[in-house]
Amino acid sequence: MPRYSKESVVGLFMLAGLACIGVLTLQLGDLGLFADDTYPLTAQFNRVTGLRPGSAVVMHGLEIGRVGRLTLDSEQRFAVVELKIRRGIRVYDDAIASIQTEGLIGDRYVSIDPGGSGTLLEPGERILETQSPTEIMDLVGRYAFGDVKK
């Protein structure tokens, strides 16, 4: 039975550890090198202030995906948000997507009310009903200058 030197065993152990760290880094970083188990949907908003790629997509308080790309539709003058939804999650054609804030000044995320009309959205289709984020500073300004109706 061959004997290995301590240096060889330690070297193999270090290589195995580095490989494990590399795999975990790729998975936690959502780099997409492994099988992608999501499908894309899009939504258009008037404003996407504070939203960024990688923000959460939430339905009924549970994370169901991530925000992909944010682009500008210059013809229709809307911000287009790509949503990467986990496979198996059903979103219907009467769904409503809204941009929400975690807490008072927290991160922005997309909240989806899934709808229930019976017609599922296919990958790549657009959620038609959307609500842009409420700007806290606009509300404060309106209240300070008397524009808010009681």
Q: What is the mean pLDDT of the chain?
A: 84
**CA-CA distance, 136 to 138, in Å (whole number)?**
5
**pLDDT reported for residue 85:** 93
For the whole model, what pTM was predicted? 0.69
Q: In the chain, where are the structural domains located?
A: 1-34, 38-141
Q: What is the maximum span of the chain, computed from C-alpha positions, in angstroms?
A: 88
Residues 88-131: tens digit of each pLDDT? 998 998 999 999 888 777 789 999 998 888 788 899 999 988 88
What is the pLDDT at residue 137? 65
Q: Find tokens 């509300």 and name the residue.
A: 139
Buried b (16+ CB within 10 A) or exposed e, 40-78: ebbbbbeebeebeeebbbbbeeeebbbbbeeeeeeeeeb
Q: Helix, strand, coil: what percent of the chain each, to 5?
A: 20, 35, 45
β-strands 62-73, 56-59 pairing: antiparallel
pLDDT at 32 > cutoff 60: no
